[in-house]
Amino acid sequence: MSTIPTQWSRVRRYLPAQQQLNNWLKQSFVSATGVAVFVLLWHILASQIITSLGSFPGPVQAAQQWSVLIAEHKAEKARETAFYQRQQQRNAATLAANPDAVVSVRPYNGRPTFFSQIVTSLYTVLTGFVLASLVAIPAGIVIGLSPRLYSAFNPLIQLFKPVSPLAWLPLVTILVSALYQSDTPLFARSFLVSVFTVSLCSLWPTLLNTIVGVSNISPDLQNVSRVLQLNWLTHVRRIVLPSAVPMIFTGLRLSLGIAWMVLIAAEMLAQNPGLGKFVWDEFQNGSSDSLSRICVAVLVIGLIGYALDRLMLQLQQRVNWDKSATLR
């Protein structure tokens, strides 16, 4: 009796999965074609362009430099390990001769490689972004809840929002060197300058979107809160924050994108460690390989920006209560 419905449900379950797979394959194929066409065009056009440093690098040269960068990184790591090993041996010998001797381990001061610059940039951008969010979300909630505060702050927000990182940078540099004076600094000044510049430029989308999300809470839900006589904190936690979460995340994603772009520019301009400095150094270097290395850097910067956005999207999907919302 039950075989027919059971079989049918099996077929039905199977069909969409098959369709999904097909759609996914189709989409991947289209994307792959796009990338292939781009690489091909790049290859053809690059060889036609002659620069002062020889012909413009194509995908082949970029791929070569990618392997060179990996090799350089490995070599640097090997040198570092060897350096510490030598010290250890020397210290062991000293201690063997005289057990009371005071030995120390000096840190290795090698040249930063492409990959250590990536780590520096990621660390810097995330610090700046987290700092900006920690300021922007609470400030956005407080400002969004009060029409009076909103009127007070709106002109300032509109004024500072469009300011380019290049304009903030000198001010931040001067301020950091004036205010951060310590004999045993916890953070390098250049790191703080990058972090604050990133924060200043990237906090606006989060701030504005939080304000909009908070001030557009449905009046019905506000009435629920009033009838229940929720206190301010409960009102914010149970009503305001959840209903503003979609807008807050829209802002956070915009902010993270801006933070990443601003960071590269700031590193280039201020010669602060990171990917921006890598690009700038290669540009100053001016060897025939430099352009290929810059091409690699450009692609990596793009890929990291994309990965950061996907990460935020994942987080948004996890946190958002509205599971039916399509996020892209």
Partner 1 sequence: MPKSHLELSQLGISFPTPKGAFVALQNVNLDIAKGEFISLIGHSGCGKSTVLNLVAGLLQASSGGVILNQKEINAPGPERAVVFQNHSLLPWLSVYQNVELAVKQVFRSQKTKQEMRDWIEHNLALVQMSHARDKRPAEISGGMKQRVGIARALAMQPQVLLMDEPFGALDALTRAHLQDSLMEIQARLNNTVIMITHDVDEAVLLSDRIVMMTNGPAATIGEVLQIELPRPRNRIALADCPTYNHYRHQVLSFLYEKQRKVEVLPNAGSIKATAVAKTAEKRA
Q: Binding to partner 1 by residue 227, rule CB under 8 A?
A: yes
Q: Which residues contact 191 (CB under 8 A, 6 or more apart)?
A: 124, 272, 273
The separation between the first and the last C-alpha atoms of the chain, rounded to the nearest angstrom, is 45
The CA distance from 3 to 40, in Å, is 55
Q: Binding to partner 1 by residue 183, rule CB under 8 A?
A: no
Looking at 119, 150, 238, 289, which residue binds partner 1 (CB under 8 A)?
238
Distance of CA 66 to the CA centre of its chain: 21
Q: Binding to partner 1 by residue 73, rule CB under 8 A?
A: no
Q: Which helix (H) or strand (E) holds 320?
A: none
Q: Binding to partner 1 by residue 226, rule CB under 8 A?
A: yes
CB of 313 to partner 1, least distance (A): 19
The token pair at 1 is: 């009796």
Q: Binding to partner 1 by residue 223, rule CB under 8 A?
A: yes
**Which of 40, 55, 76 lies closest to 292, judged by CA?**
55
CB of 242 to partner 1, least distance (A): 4
CB of 221 to partner 1, least distance (A): 6
As beta bridge partners, residue 55 has 50
Cβ nearer to partner 1, comparing 203 with 240? 240
C-alpha atoms less than 13 angstroms from C-alpha of 101 in its C-beta half-sphere: 12
CB 317 within 8 A of CB 327: yes
Q: Binding to partner 1 by residue 214, rule CB under 8 A?
A: no
Q: Which residues contact 139 (CB under 8 A, 6 or more apart)?
A: 207, 210
Q: Which residue has the tokens 């951060």?
A: 180
Output phi, psi for 224, to 5 deg.
-55, -45
Interface stretch with partner 1, choices 59-67, 196-204, 238-246, 267-275 (CB under 8 A): 238-246
CB of 322 to partner 1, least distance (A): 7
CB of 241 to partner 1, least distance (A): 9
Q: Binding to partner 1 by residue 239, rule CB under 8 A?
A: yes
Interface stretch with partner 1, choices 103-111, 119-127, 193-201, 320-328 (CB under 8 A): 320-328
Q: Binding to partner 1 by residue 326, rule CB under 8 A?
A: no
The CA distance from 144 to 150, in Å, is 6
CB of 232 to partner 1, least distance (A): 14
Q: Binding to partner 1 by residue 229, rule CB under 8 A?
A: yes
Looking at 6, 19, 315, 322, which residue binds partner 1 (CB under 8 A)?
322
Task: Give contact residues for partner 1 (rule: CB under 8 A).
Answer: 218, 220-221, 223-224, 226-230, 234, 238-239, 242-243, 245, 321-322, 324
